[in-house]
A and B are shown apart, each in its own frame.
Chain A
Amino acid sequence: MSDKVFEKVAANGLISRRHLLGLGVSGTGLALSGAALGADSGINFQIPSWSRQPGPGASAYGARSSYAENLERLSGAPNPTYPGGGASRSPLQHLQGTITPNSLHFERHHAGIPNIDPSQHNLVINGLVRQPLVFRYEDLLKYQMVSHIHFLECSGNSGALMRGEVGGSAQSLHGLVSCAEWTGIPLSTLLDEAGVLPEAKWVAAVGADAASMGRSVPISKALDDVMVALYQNGEAVRPEQGYPMRLFCPGWEGNISVKWLTQLKLTAEPAQFRDETSKYTDTLPDRSSYQFTFPMGTKSLITSPSGEMTLDQRGIYQVTGIAWSGSGSIRRVEVSADGGQTWAEAAIQGHQLDRALTRFTIPWEWNGGRAILQSRATDSQGNVQPTREALIAQKGTLSFYHTPCIQSWGVNTQGEVTNVYV
């Protein structure tokens, strides 16, 4: 029946995004079969207790609802040979919109989170500059700042797909991406103040964590759009994101946005830090290895329905997800319900900002049969998200960085959604 009502735009139940509004507002004619209204529904129409007495008053610092405390980052077990090292992943399948709450922004640490007293923290600029300088935190707060919404993604995100890992959720497989409004000082402002010498081609950035983690940034990027970020979604950058300040390199692999930033050294050549030589390099099938792979790929992911969810009845579902590109904005996201044989264009929900998460959505009618849900992003440069097969053909499976391939979520006849490979 719904075939007559809704324009099907791709096989296996995908409905034109033009129907989105009607679907979202009224649900008329979309009531899942068997859904009853009124007395038999079990809904209690008594006035609830919280409507009968005043609640607590205003508070100094907000907290989420006690009924919404299940949202957590997912982290691995501590490793005694890697104290403080590891990652935690954002619960993508439970988030909406495009901004990641600071408490749920993914983390990646190489020697834990330092507890930095900002009055004892300095930012040094030295090396190939006219005048080496040190900046105090309180002085940096006096500079004119800029704000930009950008995603941040670990280059190791989604590496599980290249390893062919079985199962997993949007969070466990892809949760090393988040998006925030970052506010700070253009790095070019501070570099100009120190006076970059012509022979300076790289900026070696070092953090104040126990690993003194370092990465080298080409001067062209450093003078273009890199920022010394002091605020994240309006508040001081959280300790796990680099308090009191971090480097932020829009669109590039997360590791280069050095947290707890304390030194910027202008050099003629890259510093060849551990984390840009033996780590964060991509070994190819011929055993050569890419070094300095910077921009993150063009990518998308259906966050609902997604792995480890169950569709509880037949009917209409809002397929939704996120898309992003390290090379520009998202131009288009397509969705398939038949494993990539036919595609329908999803609607963009909200903004399509440069190097930021973009939310997409499309209605889909699950008829109780098998389905394979996929999404495919195209960015403003015309880059199209590759299939896993194509990505493996291109770069093999010897390294697990930079793997922006299409995710396939299989739906079985019980409505169970799992990570599958097609």
Chain B
Amino acid sequence: MYKTFLLSAVLFSISTYTAVVNSQEGVRLGIPVSEEDLSQFDLIAGPDGSGFPSGSGTARQGKEVFDVNCAVCHGANGEGTSGNTIIVGGDMQSEGPPLRTVGSYWPHASTLFDFIRRAMPAIAPKSLTNEQVYQVTAYVLYMNNIITEDMELNAANLAGIEMPNADGFIDRSDIQ
């Protein structure tokens, strides 16, 4: 009798425990954080201008950063050292297969800053300062004749730079 009671008690406690663990309502282990906590972690610089850090830069300043960090793969003038490294030139309306570069293909200027900051230079991603990322972004846009050599890019104006192929894309995200 006592044993039965004990067993029941044990089984009851096991089933209660199981119920708690298996209930999605019962498992809420996310730790609250603030966006301020994430300021060094969240690198997303969006096309709406969100997520851009403080700082600024011009193409004139960016040339030196580019020569030191980027030209080894992308060439001194962005002409590239292999197909995937060409970042200047191209024309989507060219006769043959179009050369797709930052200037001819990329629809958003924000992508350039976002990508350089998170992924470039390829051998040492995230080694540039935010200031240097603004400068190199400006230089690449300048080499593609999209901005002038002395235009200062910053958090307020970078995402608004209009790219030549901005209207060249058809959003198919509704097909799921």
Nearest CB in chain B: distance from A184 CB, A: 14
B150 contacts A by Cβ under 8 Å: no
Q: How many residues of A contact B (CB 8 A)?
A: 59
Nearest CB in chain B: distance from A77 CB, A: 12
The answer to whether B108 touches A134 (Cβ under 8 A) is: no
The answer to whether B27 touches A132 (Cβ under 8 A) is: no
The answer to whether B30 touches A288 (Cβ under 8 A) is: no
The answer to whether B97 touches A133 (Cβ under 8 A) is: no
Instruction: List, in ascending order, chain A residues with CB within 8 A of B108's CB.
Output: 272, 277
A220 contacts B by Cβ under 8 Å: yes
The answer to whether B172 touches A263 (Cβ under 8 A) is: no
Q: Which of B4-12, B61-69, B113-121, B128-136 contacts A (4 or more CB under 8 A)?
A: B113-121
Instruction: List, in ascending order, chain B residues with CB within 8 A of A139's CB.
Output: 29-30
A292 to B170 Cα, complex, angstroms: 8
A294 contacts B by Cβ under 8 Å: yes
- How many B residues touch the partner, as a band? 35 or more
A204 to B48 Cα, complex, angstroms: 14
Q: Which of A9-17, A189-197, A232-240 contacts B (4 or more CB under 8 A)?
A: A189-197
A136 to B169 Cα, complex, angstroms: 38
A139 to B119 Cα, complex, angstroms: 29
Please tell me which one of the listed residues A210, A221, A272, A398 contacts residue B176 in the complex, with CB atoms under 8 A apart: A221
Instruction: List, in ascending order, chain B residues with CB within 8 A of A206's CB.
Output: 43-44, 118
Instruction: List, in ascending order, chain B residues with CB within 8 A of A193's CB.
Output: 28, 30
The answer to whether B34 touches A132 (Cβ under 8 A) is: yes
Instruction: List, in ascending order, chain B residues with CB within 8 A of A291's CB.
Output: 107, 169-173
The answer to whether B125 touches A212 (Cβ under 8 A) is: yes
Nearest CB in chain B: distance from A271 CB, A: 5
Instruction: List, in ascending order, chain A residues with CB within 8 A of B38's CB.
Output: 124, 126, 132
Interface residues of B in 40-63 (CB under 8 A from A): 41-44, 46-48, 50
Nearest CB in chain B: distance from A26 CB, A: 48
B145 contacts A by Cβ under 8 Å: no
B175 contacts A by Cβ under 8 Å: yes
Nearest CB in chain A: distance from B38 CB, A: 6
Interface residues of A in 76-135 (CB under 8 A from B): 79, 81-83, 85, 110-111, 124-126, 131-135
- The CB with the most chain B CB atoms within 10 A, among A189, A190, A210, A220, is that of A210
Interface residues of B in 151-176 (CB under 8 A from A): 168-173, 175-176
Instruction: List, in ascending order, chain B residues with CB within 8 A of A82's CB.
Output: 84, 122
When each residue 202-229 of chain A gets 1 if its CB lies under 8 Å from chain B and 0 otherwise, what string results? 0010100011111000101100000000
In the complex, 20 of the A-B residue pairs with CB atoms within 8 angstroms, ordered by the A residue number, are: A81-B85, A82-B84, A111-B122, A126-B35, A134-B33, A135-B31, A142-B29, A144-B21, A144-B22, A204-B44, A210-B119, A212-B119, A213-B119, A218-B176, A267-B44, A272-B114, A273-B111, A281-B169, A294-B175, A295-B175
* Nearest 7 Cβ contacts at the A-B interface: A133-B30, A292-B173, A139-B29, A212-B118, A274-B115, A211-B119, A81-B73
**Residues of chain A at the chain B interface (Cβ within 8 Å):** 79, 81-83, 85, 110-111, 124-126, 131-136, 139-140, 142-144, 189-190, 193-194, 204, 206, 210-214, 218, 220-221, 263, 265, 267-274, 277-278, 281, 283, 287-295, 398
